[in-house]
Amino acid sequence: MEMEPNFADTNPKAGVVGQPLSRVDGRAKVTGAAKYSAEYNQLPGLVHAVLKTSDVARGRITGFDVSAARQVPGVLAIITHENIPKLAKTPNNPQDQQAMGPGAHMGFLPLTSDQVHYAAQPVAIVVADTLERAQHAAALLRVQISPETPVASFRDPKAEEFKPKEGRAAQLPKPRGNAQAAFAGAPIQLTATYEHAINHHNPMEPGATTAHWEAPDRLTVYDATQGIVWTQQALSVMLGLSADQVRVVNKFLGGGFGCKGSVWPHTVLAAQAARAMGRPVKLVLTRPQQFTGMGHREDQDQTLRLGATSEGKLLALLHEKTSTTSPWDAYAETNSKIVDLLYACPAFEATAKLAKANVMTSTFMRAPGEAPGSFAIESLMDDLAYRVGVDPLQIRLLNYADRDPSTGKPWSSKSLKECYARGAELFGWAKRNPKNGQMRQGKLLVGYGMASGTYPVHSGQGNARVRLYADGHAVVQAAATDLGTGTYTVITQTAADALGLAPENIRFELGDSQLPSTIVSGGSMAAGTVSSSVYLAAQDVWQKLTKVAVMDKKSPLFGAKPTDIEANGGRLQLKANPAKGEGFAEIMKRAMMTDLEGSATGRYGAGYESAQAALNAKQDAAGGKDDAAGHSMHSFGAHFCEVHVDPDLGTVRVKRWVSVIGGGRILNPKTARSQIMGGAIMGIGAALMEGTVRDPHLARYTNASLADYHVCVNADIPEMTVEFVDEKDPYINAMGVKGIGEISIVGTSAAVANAIYHATGRRLRSLPITPDKMLEALRQPA
Amino acid sequence: MNDFSYTAAATAKEATGLLKDQPTATYLAGGTTLLDLMKANLLAPPHLVDVNPLPLTAIEQTPDGLRIGAMARMSAVGEHPLVVQGYPAVSKSLLLAASPQLRNMASIGGNLLQRTRCGYFRDAAFPCNKRVPGSGCPALEGDNHNLAVLGVSESCIATAYPGDLAVALAALDAVLTLENAKGKQRRVPITEFYLLPGRTPHKENVLEPGELIVAVTIPQAAHAQRSTYLKVRERSSYAYALASAAVGLDVQGGTIRTARVALGGVGAQPWRSREAEKVLTGQPATEATFRAAAAAALREAQPRKENAYKVDLVQNTLVRALQEVAG
Amino acid sequence: MQEDLFPASDAPQPADDSRRTFMKQAGGIFGFALAAPLAGQAERLTAYSKTTTGVTTLTLRINGQPRTVQAEPRVTLLDALRERLDLTGTKKGCDHGQCGACTVLVDGQRVNSCLTLAITTQGKEITTIEGLAQGEALHPMQEAFLKHDGFQCGYCTPGQIMSGVACVKEGHATTDDQAREWMSGNLCRCGAYANILAAVREVATQQAKG
């Protein structure tokens, strides 16, 4: 334990952690050398698989007409539920799904029966020697399906709502106080319903798997996944292999945003096809297939009731959500969590309702729950501010939660007040006209809006290995993925400081299940978990080297007590007398060691009574009784924006943006800034343009393309200012890293909607706020 | 995509001749529409005749007006000085369309033959009267948010042409030159080129089998020089129009001498509004006149549940465009 | 029954010999017979021009080098690059001209290679992301993307860079707003737009200064 000092104390800012290092994988990305999952073309005998999908959303497959498809030259196989090799286990069986671990999100695997549960469900795999031939044959393959009337969503009159007893939708925060009574007795009562469209992650790289059976009992999959280990676990169970017989590789991932966090049908089907063919198979989802292949953020309504004093102090919050889930799942984002804990409020209650429909299951999408939940609470807090006549920023300070309202625990750190203050300053919030609809630029209505966000520090743990070479290089390994989040870079920086090496002398390897296993790169957990493990693995190296040094008669440290020695800048030295010591190379060379390897399990977050975090905490709290588990761990942030609304055309454009984030230690301000901007841009998209439309009768998407599902383009994005509050959190982990992938989006759509309210006096509660809705709102009296 | 055979034609005569020999063949120009549809398995021509090599890229002044070769690219035409100066609506309609890459690829002739973005047309899993006559139209009671309110029928409510250029050309009285296999040319005003859906939404224009668009001619006019194209979309760029307006005005002493109006994103075809022009002509160039013209343009609108907003939106778009050119 | 779902044993065979050899070894659990070499390579001379059917040898000039591919007329430039020439730097994001990830230069003009048939690019100069750097020296646009962190996941990046190179050359990066508009044909889901803008504008400014 003595060798696990608080990083913040032993490695002050002089190191490369905290420096704006350019991405270490950047050169590979700007030269086209970075290899993604569909780019392993050298595999011997590689063939192409294409999914044939169902036209209808519900029914039974009665047969296949392969006569035309089989005539296509180069077609090698047409695999259907009738001839596909059987799996050892399928996720269709709940017990088996459990065994597959957290990555087996889908509870239904296509091609296991004649059942069609959703539109564009895979019903066959066509394999051919070239992609074009496989695609053509798939087009010619005729699938006979006896259709049944589908349910399209929870809004469908045929849908049956129910209160989930299990699954993520049932994971609601505990009620506190008597919310119903507190609301009924509140001087101010606000009730509003918020509608959120279906959103799709749409990473630029679609789902892709290249499956290669190197032997009958040894599979390698190059898979576009955020979760190397989860994919390994789920695949091995399904295929009847042990985990070590399945190798999952992902060196470069073309975005994920949550949809690559689970194991989806195409990955399993690619492995099955490769097994059937006896040769490597490449399977890439088409963009339309991406919309039904890897989940989405579900269509949902939230009704929020807010009771407050006439001064605007919260008395009660009641949250109710209704959303669509798939025939086999009970998934819903938990929106109510953020409603529960963003503000001090004595009474709270949440309910969730689901309706099963004939849709692919929804899944985590960047800040699942917090993103749409913040839209509700932060819109309604804005209403409250206007209602009681105080500034929107003031209403938030008035209800500031100094402790976690949900658990009563103190925060491990919280810099939201600083975020508000700095954000307001950067944005020029003081120039805001307190009245709605007063600011103009030509024909355009100008509005300022702001909103807060928070995202939990989930708990995670993972392993890492550090191999320090006497020649001054090091190889660092963990089976994480880099979705574009900067994992390659920030972990290189972490290792550089922990080992006292320049970052160019570190090679961080990730994305391979043969490396030390670690948590899925999701839930904003990767930076916190992996940095912690790598830091501790480096400490393991120093501990081992210390043992060598103190027994080496030629070392200045000979005979010293190991606990009196510290590692600093690649040197081992006496704590009491830093001049007495020497560099690692000297020690290793004398001991005839070419290298030394250390490994560690790093922990992160409130779910663990991490010895590391507890130790750090004790150092800070002096009393020695303080520990990590007694704290509520969250990142916080505030977003400010200016919008221009064209009152005649209904168009809304964001013209300025400021985000200030308290996210613990920022390992790299350059990549972190990019990540925050990226989340805000996705939030602007959700606010103004993103929405997948399902035909209300046929339960099939009508805009499953990047031309018709709009994500922001460059011209939508103004100058953006991002800052981080300097925040030291001793409880999170060895590094004090909270993770920032998701806090970036939380509150963003509310900030836009609040700015629209300020510009127009119209409260828009249905996302996305497209011109039709804006015009309709402007037709109504303010 | 099906496996087609391919021939690159060197001349228009050769191209039309090839198509005459193989009636199921299709011309390949920029490919931005054709290959898109073929990849979606909506079209499967067994033979493609590549007309890209044809010497039809000139942009030149003629006695009839500005003549643009059908194989000129959108980017070249959009930034051509003669177009920018003499026909700003045309230039803007081109440069506000698609993306820089697509504009480098797509030809003027091909642009006019774009197909609807209606989601039911674009996904072969859906019934669609335009794609499979008689199969039905789920858009009537389904997702019609982006579809047309003018010129529609019970068979089809698609904006058959989702683009921009044809809207500007419709406003400015452009004439298409078509050539058939015999080398015979005919001239068709663009306002007569497109067909309303009626009961035959699969028939979208008057092109005879094998006929090739070889040129577009836009007459010179004061209202063409004082023209603009205004486009409303859900994101700032790289999106189809929810509504658009191409207008040209000749205003003298505050009075409108001639007016040209066409609307996009709202009609079953690029929607020339002679009703609006009638209201504008001879009247003072004021907002009241513009409003009246916009109301006249939409008098026959047949909105449905989700596209009703377009009735107001396109009127406002039109008024705004008229204000812009009126100065 | 299962046999019925597979092509008959006289179905044609892949053209690639190495694949055939591998198949003989590997067989696969279905063990269906191997196919004959691709037929239909005939380049039929009509009264007009040359008609191409089936797989033929196309010669493409890519990054200054002549490259040959065996491909049917339907093969897009994108799939020729990615699947046949192992030039995987050019990305497939949508395959329908809706995202710009596949942007390459053909005769100096930026185009979507997913909607460009390879056969139509014979005799033209094709530049991909792999052809930008001069040996170890990166192109200024690549350097600027690195410096300004103009990417996260990197998947749209080759297309953004190719588009950025063209955008500057076209003279469409003289102001921020102009560059935003003329870079809007390349989607970036990670949201690196502000940084991409900074990179493109920096290169434009450098080049304006000469």
- The interface pTM score, or ipTM, of the predicted complex is 0.98
Chain B residues 128-157 within an 8 A CB cutoff of chain A: 138, 141-143, 145-146
- Using CB atoms, which residue from A66, A132, A279 is nearest to C26? A279
- Residues A82, A425, A742, A776: which is the catalytic one? A742
Specify if C96 maps to a domain. yes
CB atoms C155 and A257 under 8 Å: no
Helix, strand, coil distribution of chain A in percent, nearest 5: 30, 25, 45
Q: Measured between alpha carbons, how far is C102 from A437 in angstroms, rounded to an integer? A: 44
CB atoms C191 and A717 under 8 Å: yes
Residues 6+ apart with CB under 8 A from B108: B68, B69, B70, B71, B72, B73, B74, B77, B165, B216
Which of C86, C112, C131 marks a domain boundary? C131
Q: Could you tell me if B237 lies within 8 Å of chain A, comparing CB atoms? A: yes
Sign of the dihedral through C-alpha A531, A536, A541, A546: positive
Q: Measured between alpha carbons, how far is C137 from B2 in angstroms, rounded to an integer? A: 42
Residue C116 and residue C95 share a domain:
yes
Distance from CA of B284 to the nearest CA of C (A): 35
| E strand spans, A407-544 | 439-441, 444-456, 460-469, 474-477, 506-509
- The confidence band for C22, taking pLDDT boundaries of 50, 70 and 90, is very low
Token look-up 């399990």 returns A601
For residue B268 the two structure tokens come to 């079953």
Structural domain count of chain C? 2
For residue A381 the two structure tokens come to 């807090």
Q: Measured between alpha carbons, how far is B232 from B237 in angstroms, rounded to an integer? A: 10
Residues 6+ apart with CB under 8 A from B204: B115, B130, B160, B161, B194, B195
Chain C residues 145-174 within an 8 A CB cutoff of chain A: 145-147, 149, 151-158, 161
CB atoms A26 and C4 under 8 Å: no
Chain B residues 33-92 within an 8 A CB cutoff of chain C: 35-36, 38-40, 47-48, 50, 52
Distance from CA of B40 to the nearest CA of A (A): 9
Q: Measured between alpha carbons, how far is B159 from B116 in angstroms, rounded to an integer? A: 6
A88-to-A112, A370, C30 alpha-carbon distances in Å: 12, 37, 19
State in words which class domain B222-326 has: alpha beta
Q: Measured between alpha carbons, how far is B52 from B4 in angstroms, rounded to an integer? A: 17
**Residues forming a β-bridge with C66:** C61
Distance from CA of A274 to the nearest CA of C (A): 9
- Using CB atoms, which residue from C50, C100, C180 is nearest to B101? C100
Q: Measured between alpha carbons, how far is B76 from B86 in angstroms, rounded to an integer? A: 15
String of DSSP letters for A369-394: THHHHHHHHHHHHHHHHHHHT--HHH
pLDDT of residue A624: 43
Q: Could you tell me if B31 lies within 8 Å of chain C, comparing CB atoms? A: yes
- Check whether B130 has a pLDDT greater than 70: yes
CB atoms C190 and A678 under 8 Å: yes
- The confidence band for C14, taking pLDDT boundaries of 50, 70 and 90, is very low
User: Which chain B residues are Cβ-neighbours of C186 within 8 angstroms?
Assistant: 99
The CA angle A501-A506-A508, to the nearest 5 degrees, is 140
The CA angle A286-A291-A297, to the nearest 5 degrees, is 150
CB atoms C11 and A34 under 8 Å: no
Nearest to A322 by CA among A208, A196, A419: A196
pLDDT of residue C3: 47
pLDDT of residue A612: 53
Specify if C195 maps to a domain. yes
Residue C202 and residue C180 share a domain:
yes
Model confidence pLDDT, tens digit, residues C165-202: 999 999 999 999 999 999 999 999 999 999 999 999 99
pLDDT of residue A673: 98
pLDDT of residue C26: 36
pLDDT of residue C20: 36
Q: Could you tell me if B236 lies within 8 Å of chain A, comparing CB atoms? A: yes
What's the burial of A284, exposed, middle or buried (CB within 10 Å: 0-12/13-18/19+)? buried
With CA atoms as reference, the chain A residue closest to B120 would be A702
Q: List the helix and strand counts (H, then E) for chain A.
A: 19, 28
Range ranked top by mean pLDDT from A105-114, B158-167, C12-21: B158-167
Tell me the one-letter amino acid at B58: A
CB atoms within 10 A of CB A407: 16
User: Is A311 in the active site?
Assistant: no
CB atoms C154 and A29 under 8 Å: yes
Q: Report domain extents, chain B.
A: 222-326
Nearest to A331 by CA among A521, A175, A102: A102
Q: Could you tell me if B99 lies within 8 Å of chain C, comparing CB atoms? A: yes
For residue B207 the two structure tokens come to 């092109």
For residue B313 the two structure tokens come to 């939106």
CB atoms B119 and A707 under 8 Å: no
A435-to-A749, A755, A776, C159 alpha-carbon distances in Å: 21, 12, 22, 45
Q: Measured between alpha carbons, how far is B71 from B55 in angstroms, rounded to an integer? A: 8
Q: Are A520 and A480 in contact (CB under 8 A)?
A: no
Residue C191 and residue C161 share a domain:
yes
Q: Measured between alpha carbons, how far is A677 from C195 in angstroms, rounded to an integer? A: 10
Specify if C8 maps to a domain. no
Q: Could you tell me if A212 lies within 8 Å of chain C, comparing CB atoms? A: no
Tell me the one-letter amino acid at A386: Y
Specify if C183 maps to a domain. yes
For chain B, how many residues are written? Answer: 327
CATH of the domain at C155: 1.10.150.120
Q: Are B207 and B190 in contact (CB under 8 A)?
A: no
Specify if C12 maps to a domain. no
Helix, strand, coil distribution of chain C in percent, nearest 5: 40, 20, 45
CA A362 distance to own-chain centroid: 14
- Check whether C33 has a pLDDT greater than 80: no
The CA angle A655-A742-A192, to the nearest 5 degrees, is 70
* Average pLDDT over every residue of B1-11: 95
pLDDT of residue C25: 35
Q: Could you tell me if A380 lies within 8 Å of chain C, comparing CB atoms? A: no
Task: Write out the residue range of the structural domain in which residue C203 sits.
Answer: 140-209
Q: Measured between alpha carbons, how far is A208 from A285 in angstroms, rounded to an integer? A: 6
What are the structural domains of chain A? Answer: 10-34+460-604 (3.30.365.10), 41-368 (3.90.1170.50), 391-457+631-779 (3.30.365.10)
Q: Measured between alpha carbons, how far is B218 from B94 in angstroms, rounded to an integer? A: 15
Q: Could you tell me if A678 lies within 8 Å of chain C, comparing CB atoms? A: yes
Q: Are B201 and B160 in contact (CB under 8 A)?
A: yes
* Peptide bond preceding B138 in cis form (omega within 30 of 0): no
Q: Rounded to 10 degrees, what is the CA torsion of A277, A283, A289, A294? A: 100
SS3 of A161-226: the string is EECCCCCHHHCCCCCECCHHHHHHCCCEEEEEEEEECEECCCCCCCCEEEEEEEECCEEEEEECCC
Q: Are A196 and A767 in contact (CB under 8 A)?
A: yes
For residue A662 the two structure tokens come to 């308290």
With CA atoms as reference, the chain A residue closest to B146 would be A708
User: Could you give phi then psi for residue C159, rounded to 5 degrees?
Assistant: -65, -40
For chain C, how many residues are written? Answer: 210
Q: Rounded to 10 degrees, what is the CA torsion of B157, B160, B164, B167? A: -80
With CA atoms as reference, the chain A residue closest to C9 would be A76
How many residue contacts between B and C have a Cβ separation below 8 Å? 106
Specify if C7 maps to a domain. no
Distance from CA of A612 to the nearest CA of C (A): 31
**Residues forming a β-bridge with B243:** B232
User: Could you give phi then psi for residue A419, rounded to 5 degrees?
Assistant: -60, -45
Q: Mutate which of C17, C155, C176, C197 to disrupt the A interface (most A C-beta within 10 Å)?
A: C155
What's the burial of C116, exposed, middle or buried (CB within 10 Å: 0-12/13-18/19+)? buried
pTM: 0.95
Distance from CA of A70 to the nearest CA of C (A): 5
Query: Which residues of chain A fall below pLDDT 70?
Result: 1-14, 606-627
User: Which chain C residues are Cβ-neighbours of A713 within 8 angstroms?
Assistant: 184-185, 187, 193
Specify if C21 maps to a domain. no
CB atoms A27 and C138 under 8 Å: yes
For residue A333 the two structure tokens come to 């984002």
Q: Are A197 and A299 in contact (CB under 8 A)?
A: yes
> Across chain A, what does the average pLDDT equal?
94
For residue C70 the two structure tokens come to 């065996």
Model confidence pLDDT, tens digit, residues A546-581: 999 999 999 999 999 999 999 999 999 999 999 999
User: Which chain B residues are Cβ-neighbours of A72 within 8 angstroms?
Assistant: 3
CB atoms C120 and B50 under 8 Å: yes
Nearest to A694 by CA among B142, B327, B177: B142
Q: Mutate which of B121, B132, B137, B236 to disrupt the A interface (most A C-beta within 10 Å)?
A: B236
Residue C111 and residue C170 share a domain:
no
User: Which chain C residues are Cβ-neighbours of A66 within 8 angstroms?
Assistant: 4-5
Q: Could you tell me if A2 lies within 8 Å of chain B, comparing CB atoms? A: no
Q: Are B127 and B138 in contact (CB under 8 A)?
A: yes
For residue A112 the two structure tokens come to 């296991």
- Check whether C39 has a pLDDT greater than 90: no
